[in-house]
A and B are shown apart, each in its own frame.
Chain A
Amino acid sequence: QKEVEQNSGPLSVPEGAIASLNCTYSDRGSQSFFWYRQYSGKSPELIMSIYSNGDKEDGRFTAQLNKASQYVSLLIRDSQPSDSATYLCAAILYNQGGKLIFGQGTELSVKP
């Protein structure tokens, strides 16, 4: 089992819809989780961090964390074509010395 797992997609949604991206992790000791966006040919860009159970909202983005289920999600409301990118979930593995590990990424395509 990979330490951080995501559905690779591609996920396709129409413009204006809600995009839902999911991630699971294996290290129960992990406390810190991140979502990065990566456009083709570019480096990952941090868009959200979440440390506590529940929801965290920032503009059109909402991150959700459920530590009991070892599950993290990212919701993008009112999706725009400019949101089309690969979304990477990441976790700091406290039981492995604090290294930052990424999932394989989910490709999102927002159709006009």
Chain B
Amino acid sequence: GAGVSQSPRYKVAKRGQDVALRCDPISGHVSLFWYQQALGQGPEFLTYFQNEAQLDKSGLPSDRFFAERPEGSVSTLKIQRTQQEDSAVYLCASSPRQGNTEAFFGQGTRLTVV
């Protein structure tokens, strides 16, 4: 596709519900990043893939968060048993290759846990 696509754009979840957020990177992009952004803050790193390999998941806040990219293209961020503190914008970015390259963002998914 022309750009990074994320779905859904908005998600309201009841506390305790599981959610899945999807990211479609730019075609052919090797690296894929997930971030969590709270209001007034910069994007906080969650996890990072190179193709299907998850190279770093140090930013995932708890074991309720899980990300996968099984075929090295589309990625899914899953949050189990959502809590109110999970409410944030979740951003996905992709870049053409690992390392010294620019990353481009999708529109984000705004998650509200009620």
Contacts and interface: CB of A to CB of B under 8 A. Distances in A.
Interface of A: 6, 31-32, 34, 36, 42-46, 49, 51, 88, 92, 94, 96-105
Interface residues of B, number: 25
Contacts, number: 59
A99 B33 contact: yes
A101 B45 contact: yes
Given A51-B100, A100-B33, A100-B48, A44 B56 contact: no
B42 A104 contact: yes
Contacts of B43: 44, 88, 102
Contact of B98 (A49, A88, A98): A98
Given A43-B105, A44-B105, A51-B100, A98 B55 contact: yes
B62 interface: no
A105 B41 contact: yes
B104 interface: yes
Given A102-B42, A102-B43, A97 B102 contact: no
A88 B48 contact: no
Nearest to A45: B105
Given A88-B42, A99-B45, A100-B45, A43 B106 contact: yes
A44 B103 CA distance: 10
Nearest to B35: A102
A75 B91 CA distance: 26
Contacts of B33: 99-100
A96 B103 contact: no
